[in-house]
Structure 1
Amino acid sequence: MKTVADRERQPLSMVKASWRWRQMKQDKYLYLLLAPAILFVFVFVYMPLPGIMVAFKDYDVFKGFWGSDWAGLKFIREVFELPMIGDAIGKTLLISTLTLIVCFPAPIVLALLLNELRLKLFKRITQTLLYLPHFLSWISVIGIAYAFYSIYGPLNDIRLWLFGGDTERIMFLSNPHFFIPNVLLLSLWKETGWSTVIFLAAIASVDPQLYEAAYMDGAGKLRQTFRITLPTILPTVMIMLIFQLGNLFQSNFELIYGLQNPFVNTEVISTLIYKQGIQQGAYALSTALGFIQGLIAFVLTVAANSISKKLTSSGIW
């Protein structure tokens, strides 16, 4: 049995380690609940990491991963020689930037509006209806979009009802100019409601006494929102923004690939990786393309986190 004097003579690192071990034993059931998530991340995130080496090998299916010859930076250079890479990067940046501008503020505004609802039953029903689209797969959303926008779908029927029976029916999904607005609309419809959960939780943590003090000083709801609510939830907003900026070179593969058709063939980086790697069997080239994409995402995340730390003193690490 160690005395107080013995514990005081122990190095600080050993004291901290002992304290952490006691905390882990105390919270053992919480760690047990966390175990499946840790296992999932380990199996599907960390175990595939050695596969990045395919980008630097002349990969041969018959020789296998370890038997294939090293190719150096050959496929990294070939990525930038692809004839469609410039257009794919441009479309990826365009869609990601527009998604950031349109879809990122939407759940914040919606959370602020939902927070002002006072009828609890109406608030719960509204939140449930807004959350539901999130639980649909993107393939289901694409199927709904095809049915809604089809020549004899509800949208064309509404147009005929509003403008008369002589109105020409339109093939919306065959119009290249409608592709990007449609991607934004479907993303808004599916994910905005679910994304409000995080911001509603952040708003719920605001001290009610701040609102009472502001009300006593004559501040209305709008001023309370800009002077109390938004500054208080700013760290949460910045963390979510960092994640979004890290995905600037990413795109929703399922949605974009599912909306492609013979009339519209908008290529982004993720669809290019799929078509090069899976359909044409250029595994090394597609891995090199994915490696560059991931490297850029890492740099953007680090840069966004550093800027956030300097401006708001909050970040993801």
Structure 2
Amino acid sequence: MKTLSAQADTRNVSATPEPPKQRKKGIWRTVVRQRYLYMMSVPFVIWLFVFNYLPIWGWTMAFQNYKPSKSFFEQEWVGLKHFVDLFQDERFYLVLRNTLAMSVMGLIAGFVIPIAFAIFLNELRGKYFKRTVQTISYLPHFVSWVVVAGIVTKMLSIDGGIVNEVLLALHIIDEPIQFMAQGKWFWGIVTVSDVWKETGWNAIIYLAAIAGIDRELYEAAKVDGAGRFRQMWNITLPGIRTTISVLLIMSIGHLIGIGFEKQFQLSNSLVTDYSEVLDLYALNYGINISRFSYGTAISMFTSIVSIILLLTANGIMKKTTKESIM
């Protein structure tokens, strides 16, 4: 009995939380012991603060009638005037439609295709052929959008464009189609161009996740009689579920902030109503005509909506799949 009581007392003592002073000493010991790691991280923390957090101060321009010639304290404060103007502008809703349409199409195609490409590429047995295909697939990522836009425009041209030539040869169409002059084709052209350019590069992280799956699972599945498609469905896809969830959350966070480079390069005056996105809208109706406060309000709206989408997607994913990024 004495032994049992002594063990119980020992457990109670070990379960007692450490005093705050001892915890603080332990933290400082860890800091001192890992001081070189902390010192190595200081430049990155400074870079993050200077380029990501310090510019947030510029959001104050959205509440001012900003004039570059005046100091901060001399600016005229106008409250939410620029946001009111933004939501009353019919062009804004047209641009928002274009942004959401292209971002959703890009999210679906640009998310599903790299996963499928990585899984099927992983199933290739020839090592050299597999490496060759992988290398060729991610090379377009390093090509500038200026070059990509030139290639796409030439391929879709009515004067010797390969797409029209093939369609005419197959008797699918009777006369060449002016793809780049019709707004109804623009969203699809941007989506296909982006998928071609980024599929190989986006597949790299999925291939890395697949490489971390225990090979014994595949061997056990073979013994049980599972074919290659059954192995992909029951082993490969569940094995990269965490990676898929994290990247999906991050992609949803960028749903409204898709940039403007590809739209700017592929656009022309005939398809402006389908090509203009929020970032281009901020550039054309803000900075280019010196409406800096209005442009800041557009960018601020984009950032806030992106944060809300990110937190919402993370919350839903955390409840449904127990996966989250924060």
| TM-score (structure 2 length as normaliser) | 0.86
RMSD: 2.2
CA-to-partner distance for each residue in 1:5-40, whole Å, 9 max, x for gaps? xxx985223313422442343x57xx74x6665554
How far apart are residue 65 of structure 1 and its match?
4.2
Distance between the aligned counterparts of 1:160 and 1:239, measured in 2?
Answer: 44
The count of aligned residue pairs is: 305
Which residue number in structure 1 is paired with residue 324 of structure 2? 315
Which residue number in structure 1 is paired with residue 7 of structure 2? none
Q: Which runs of 5+ in 2 are unaligned?
A: 1-17
One-letter amino acid of the counterpart of residue 185, structure 1 = V
Query: Compared with structure 1, are the counterparts of its residues 277 and 225 closer, same or farther at alpha carbon in structure 2 (3 Å cutoff)?
Result: same
How far apart are residue 167 of structure 1 and its match?
5.1
Q: Which of residues 104, 110, 132 is equivalent to 1:125?
A: 132
Which residue number in structure 1 is paired with residue 10 of structure 2? none
Contact 1:235 1:312 in 2 (8 A): no
Which residue number in structure 1 is paired with residue 279 of structure 2? 270
1:222 aligns with 2:233: no
CA-to-partner distance for each residue in 1:180-218, whole Å, 9 max, x for gaps? 110111010011110001100111111111111122122
Q: Which of residues 24, 38, 57 is equivalent to 1:13?
A: 24
Say which one has the larger Rg. Answer: 2
Percent identical among aligned pairs is 37
Which residue number in structure 2 is paired with residue 51 of structure 1? 58
CA-to-partner distance for each residue in 1:129-188, whole Å, 9 max, x for gaps? 100000012222112212222232333344454449x95333220011110110111010
1:136 aligns with 2:143: yes
How far apart are residue 260 of structure 1 and its match?
1.8
Query: Compared with structure 1, are the counterparts of its residues 72 and 268 closer, same or farther at alpha carbon in structure 2 (3 Å cutoff)?
Result: same
One-letter amino acid of the counterpart of residue 61, structure 1 = P
Which residue number in structure 1 is paired with residue 164 of structure 2? 156
Distance between the aligned counterparts of 1:222 and 1:296, measured in 2?
Answer: 39
Distance between the aligned counterparts of 1:64 and 1:160, measured in 2?
Answer: 63
The correspondence of residues 1-317 of structure 1 with structure 2, limited to 5 A, is 11-25=22-36, 27=37, 32=40, 38-152=45-159, 153-163=161-171, 168-265=175-272, 266=274, 267-317=276-326
SS at match of 2:88: coil
Query: Compared with structure 1, are the counterparts of its residues 157 and 213 closer, same or farther at alpha carbon in structure 2 (3 Å cutoff)?
Result: same
Contact 1:156 1:169 in 2 (8 A): yes
Contact 1:60 1:68 in 2 (8 A): yes
SS at match of 2:271: coil
CA-to-partner distance for each residue in 1:89-121, whole Å, 9 max, x for gaps? 122111111111211111100000111111111
SS at match of 1:62: coil
| TM-score (structure 1 length as normaliser) | 0.89
SS at match of 1:11: helix
SS at match of 1:118: coil
Distance between the aligned counterparts of 2:32 and 2:156, measured in 1?
Answer: 59
